[in-house]
């Protein structure tokens, strides 16, 4: 089913295909129709899908029920993932209340902070624990993914703690790129860098 190396961008596109298929509510979609809905080329749609199998019917297109189920399975979204939030500041609190996550099998079930005045309180009905409890709570609650929203000077430290607690996937919002143990996947979302990219585009234009 799985052929050779898969370009990382393919995975992002699969998520996008899934969304537009879901919204279209049609029984069949051709690669050309998916292309129009996403602005990727139809060749790319077909190529991306064939990395994982043959889901289409020549002359007809793709059965969207099959395709939806297949993409969910490929992305590992046919199960629940427990998520911990580390760092309950402004951004962390917003992420804790963010509705978009729960939609696709993600559940933020634990939150941690170092500030004693926050520990013991609840945000969006999630109890905030002391960060010292992290390793124990990660194991006890079967946490798979950590969202890191801590100040930049402690990001590396917390990353190491998460790794030694057995976490294999981290979504990092701190404006540093922690160097993880090689068994750990870190995705960095750096808000300032994105704004800087926009500034670059603007500066070039004018």
d(CA 67, CA 48): 12
The closest of 138, 124, 66, 67 to 96, measured between CA atoms, is 124
Binding letters toward a second copy, positions 43-62, x by CB under 8 A: --------------------
Q: Is 39 left (phi over 0), alpha (psi -120 to 50) or beta?
A: left
Least distance (Å) between residue 168 CB and a second copy: 6
Least distance (Å) between residue 6 CB and DNA: 7
Residue 140 interacting with a second copy (CB under 8 A): no
**What residues numbered 62-91 form the site for DNA, per CB under 7 A?**
62
Least distance (Å) between residue 187 CB and a second copy: 5
Locate all alpha helices (DSSP H) within 25-63, ordered by sequence: 31-38, 42-50
Residue 50 interacting with DNA (CB under 7 A): yes
Q: In what order do the strands lie in the sheet with 61-63?
A: 28-29, 61-63, 56-57
Q: For residue 2, what are the β-bridge partners?
A: none
Binding site for a second copy (CB under 8 A): 8, 11-12, 15-16, 19, 38-39, 74-77, 81, 83, 90-91, 93-95, 97-98, 100-101, 103-106, 144-145, 168-171, 175-177, 179, 185, 187, 189-205
């Amino acid at each position: 089913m799985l052929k050779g190396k898969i370009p990382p961008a393919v995975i992002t596109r699969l998520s996008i295909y899934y969304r537009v298929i879901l919204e279209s509510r049609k029984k069949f979609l051709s690669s050309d129709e998916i292309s129009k809905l996403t602005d990727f080329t139809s060749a790319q749609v077909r190529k991306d899908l064939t990395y994982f199998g043959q889901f289409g019917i020549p002359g007809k297109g793709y059965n969207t029920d099959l395709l939806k189920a297949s993409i969910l399975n490929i992305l590992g979204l046919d199960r629940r993932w427990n998520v911990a939030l580390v760092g309950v500041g402004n951004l962390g609190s917003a992420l804790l209340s963010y509705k978009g996550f729960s939609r696709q099998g993600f559940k933020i079930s634990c939150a941690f902070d170092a500030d004693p005045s926050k520990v013991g309180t609840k945000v969006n009905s999630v109890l905030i624990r002391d960060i010292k409890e992290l390793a124990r709570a990660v194991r006890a609650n079967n946490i798979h993914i950590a969202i890191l929203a801590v100040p930049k000077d402690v990001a590396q430290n917390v990353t190491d703690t998460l790794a030694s607690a057995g976490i294999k996937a981290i979504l990092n919002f701190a404006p540093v790129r922690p160097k993880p143990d090689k068994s750990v996947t870190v995705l960095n979302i750096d808000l300032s860098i994105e704004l800087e990219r926009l500034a670059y585009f603007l500066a070039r234009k004018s």
